[in-house]
Structure 1
Amino acid sequence: MKLAYTVLLLFASLVGAHGQDKRPLSIALAGLSHDHVNLIMNHYKKNEINLVGIAEPNKELVNKFKKSMGIPDSLFYDDLKKLLQNKKPEVVMAFNAISEHIDVVRICAPLKIDVMVEKPLATTVKDAEEIAALSKKYKTMVLTNYETTWYGTNQEVYKRVQKGEIGDIVKMVAHDGHEGPKEIGCSRFFLDWLTDPVKNGAGALNDFGCYGANLFTGLMNNQMPVSVYAVTHQIKPAVYPKVDDDATIIVEYPHATGIIEASWNWPYSIKDWEVFGKTGYLQAVNSKELRTKDNRSAYKINEVAAPQPPYQSYLAYVTAVLRKEITPTDDLSSLANNIIVVKILNAAKESARTGKKVLLK
């Protein structure tokens, strides 16, 4: 089965063939309100990146990071335009509300500055398509980061499916979420927009539904689904009054079905997925454990080796891409994949609102 994601594996062997640029990647940050920014801050503390500037209008948030990370005043700007008038990073990484990703690309693309955003790409199909148009017009990359892209188990699933180990895919089931963003202690800056139906686009449906949509789209070789049907709930309306906190999404393909179970009501944190083929079964239980079964033997659980560089993290990946050490095509971070993800999520919202299946063209 031909898979777009296999590019990720094929090019791994080429890293180093042209020599590696060892300089830390030059990065500017657009926003600090997404709690995933703490991951890039860990790289900053270890001197693994060259942080040239941060665009953040919220003074309280700015002071928080000045104090906690020891970031000098000279790196902070009120807005991204001012920052980019003074600095020329290799990439801008967006850690702001999902609805604001489009604004970041509108500023960066004409300046020929590549962008990486946190998942999902956008809150609306209109914004996603404008992002794609700007990327094409100005020949800049817009990549989307998912934690699950860098799981060794997920990469192993794609490799085994490509080899035909479980036959043709007939069903995929993704479970993603946790006890709830407030329950696990997300910052109030993050919660302010994560629980907003405009800024986040939805609740758990967008926040965790995007993971399954991203993985399914990759496994289906960026094929547009036939239809989407979804049901959402507010299990904790007193905690999340404006958005859903539980979503089930059925994604129909010509010869397979995908089921996404996204929730802020799991009894524990979970990011796993199951893939059923005609002759076997694969489950990425977590980032390291792969559960397998065929039609002749019992279940087996094996530990999967860590991914090979530069596919072990988003920082290693985007550094290799920008330094032209690898050439990505339609992988899990690509616009080709993530525009389809946004279309699946928007169809799911429409289906949940109307109670009807939504056909995709």
Structure 2
Amino acid sequence: MSASAVHKLDNNTTRQTRLAIAGIGLVGLRHAEAIAQLNQAVLVAVVDPSPQGQEAANALGVPCFSDLPEMLASENPDGVIISTPTRLHVEQALTCIRAGTPVMVEKPLATSVEDAMELVAEARAAEVPLLVGHHRRHNPIIRKAHSLIQDGSIGKVRALQVTCWFYKPDGYFDTAPWRKLKGAGPISVNLVHDVDLMRHFCGEVVSVQAQAAPSERGFENEDVASAVLKFDTGAIATVSVSDGVVAPWSWEMTSKEYPVYPNAPESCYLIGGSHGSLSIPDLRLWTHKEERDWWSPISAASMPCERTDPLLNQIEHLVEVIAGTAEPLVSGEEGLRTLRVIEAIQTAALSGETVHLPLPEEGN
């Protein structure tokens, strides 16, 4: 066990970081599984008022609370992971922050930029760590891609193509009806991951144009959308998302990140630069062997990369942040900036107009 990732006690021994999870659905269970695999952390409680929550807590061997304040008072965890429906994120995260408890909130951070700003401001004022669960940044594939881009392996990034297409079965929506509501469509639920990575790779988005189409299943939200994003570096991205298209081109089906999804030997991100291009997640780096010239031969080299579970890496990072030995990789401010882009896509799709965004120095 790494001493840098645990709490020191007075007798110079160490103890595991005590974590609680609010919301023990699909994502919450994955966090619980990750915690169980680590020596640095231990799950001490679940907050979930549903019968399924109680059953899950029993299976995990931890107490189940229906109320977050009650759990905080009873268990006094070192940190809380919030994986409840998005509409509950801000209220629950504020409860943790006001108790002085570090918190990691699943993406998206909030249902609106306004609410997220309140949360980020209060966390900053209280000096309580606020992290956002954009776990893909903890994937070694993304770390390697980011390193290649930063090292100039493809030159200056000029263009990105991002595809996020898959078909969610009816049962996905029936088991959690909130997924049918306005604001819970693939733009906010799925594309938020891809937007976060585009920002991670290329900088800040300064303008957005977008189109969306209503759900063909009759839900309140959209089921397909496309956007054009312009970055402060001058790069331009085209991105398309749908949860009603049968296709292999999504992070879930190409990255081998989560075994429940079948794997397809494809890529979902293409990043084009002035000296080369990179496809992700297969990490194939395309360059000309001689002159940069469309008449010159071009070839690809597969970049070596380790493979570790990003959810495990994310929990390890959370433990280090709680211990004060690391700064958040995806802070509340970072989650807010990504949410600004998501909200801009939704606004642009409704209005048909270009939406301009402030740079971080002009606003969080």
Q: Shorter-normalised TM-score: what interval?
A: 0.7 to 0.9
The partner residue of 1:78 within 62, 66, 91 is: 66
1:100-179 aligned within 5 A? 100-179=88-167
Residue type of the partner of 1:244? E
Identify the residue that residue 344 of structure 2 maps to in structure 1. 347
Identify the residue that residue 306 of structure 1 maps to in structure 2. 307
What is the SS of the residue equivalent to 2:164? strand
1:326-345 aligned within 5 A? 326-328=326-328, 331=329, 333-345=330-342
The partner residue of 2:201 within 219, 230, 233 is: 219
1:183-222 aligned within 5 A? 186=172, 188-189=174-175, 191-197=176-182, 201-221=183-203
2:147 and 2:276 map into 1 onto residues whose CA distance is 14
Residue type of the partner of 2:196? N
2:327 and 2:112 map into 1 onto residues whose CA distance is 28
Residue type of the partner of 2:327? T
Contact 2:36 2:42 in 1 (8 A): no
| TM-score, scaled relative to structure 2 | 0.81
Task: Quote how far apart the aligned CAs of 1:143 are.
Answer: 0.8
Q: Which moved more, 1:203-212 or 1:312-321?
A: 312-321
Identify the residue that residue 315 of structure 1 maps to in structure 2. 315
1:226 and 1:253 map into 2 onto residues whose CA distance is 5
1:251 and 1:77 map into 2 onto residues whose CA distance is 43
2:300 and 2:153 map into 1 onto residues whose CA distance is 15
Residue type of the partner of 2:190? F
Alignment RMSD (CA, Å):
2.5
- Structure 2 unmatched ranges of 5 or more: 7-13, 252-267, 290-297, 359-364
Residue type of the partner of 1:306? R
Contact 2:36 2:43 in 1 (8 A): no
Identify the residue that residue 360 of structure 1 maps to in structure 2. 357
Identify the residue that residue 246 of structure 1 maps to in structure 2. 224
Q: Point out which structure has higher relative CO (alpha carbons under 8 A, 6+ apart).
A: 1
Q: Give the 3 Å change call, closer, same or farther, for CA 310–270 of structure 1 in structure 2.
A: closer
Contact 1:177 1:208 in 2 (8 A): no
1:38 and 1:87 map into 2 onto residues whose CA distance is 19
1:262 and 1:310 map into 2 onto residues whose CA distance is 23
Matched, 1:42 2:33: yes
Residue type of the partner of 1:175? T
Q: Give the 3 Å change call, closer, same or farther, for CA 348–96 of structure 1 in structure 2.
A: same
Identify the residue that residue 62 of structure 1 maps to in structure 2. 53
CA deviations 1:300-335 (Å, max 9, x no partner) are 33442236x99962111111222233334xx4x122
Task: Quote how far apart the aligned CAs of 1:44 are.
Answer: 5.4
Contact 2:129 2:322 in 1 (8 A): no
What is the SS of the residue equivalent to 2:153? coil
Q: Give the 3 Å change call, closer, same or farther, for CA 310–148 of structure 1 in structure 2.
A: closer
1:124 and 1:40 map into 2 onto residues whose CA distance is 25
Matched, 1:261 2:235: no
1:177 and 1:323 map into 2 onto residues whose CA distance is 39
Identify the residue that residue 273 of structure 1 maps to in structure 2. 269
- The total of aligned residue pairs comes to 324
1:25 and 1:278 map into 2 onto residues whose CA distance is 46
Q: Give the 3 Å change call, closer, same or farther, for CA 147–105 of structure 1 in structure 2.
A: closer
Q: Give the 3 Å change call, closer, same or farther, for CA 262–25 of structure 1 in structure 2.
A: farther
Residue type of the partner of 2:208? V
Larger Rg: 2
Contact 1:310 1:316 in 2 (8 A): no
Residue type of the partner of 1:357? T
Q: Which moved more, 1:43-52 or 1:159-168?
A: 43-52
- Structure 1 unmatched ranges of 5 or more: 1-14
Same amino acid, percent of matched pairs:
19
Identify the residue that residue 229 of structure 1 maps to in structure 2. 209
Q: Give the 3 Å change call, closer, same or farther, for CA 349–107 of structure 1 in structure 2.
A: same
1:70 and 1:105 map into 2 onto residues whose CA distance is 23
Task: Quote how far apart the aligned CAs of 1:233 are.
Answer: 2.0
Task: Quote how far apart the aligned CAs of 1:66 are.
Answer: 4.4
2:310 and 2:343 map into 1 onto residues whose CA distance is 32
Task: Quote how far apart the aligned CAs of 1:93 are.
Answer: 0.4
1:95 and 1:311 map into 2 onto residues whose CA distance is 13
What is the SS of the residue equivalent to 1:245? strand
2:112 and 2:350 map into 1 onto residues whose CA distance is 15
1:139 and 1:220 map into 2 onto residues whose CA distance is 29
2:47 and 2:333 map into 1 onto residues whose CA distance is 28
2:220 and 2:42 map into 1 onto residues whose CA distance is 39
Contact 1:52 1:87 in 2 (8 A): yes
Task: Quote how far apart the aligned CAs of 1:20 are.
Answer: 4.4
Q: Give the 3 Å change call, closer, same or farther, for CA 46–282 of structure 1 in structure 2.
A: closer
2:318 and 2:35 map into 1 onto residues whose CA distance is 16
The partner residue of 1:293 within 286, 295, 307 is: 286
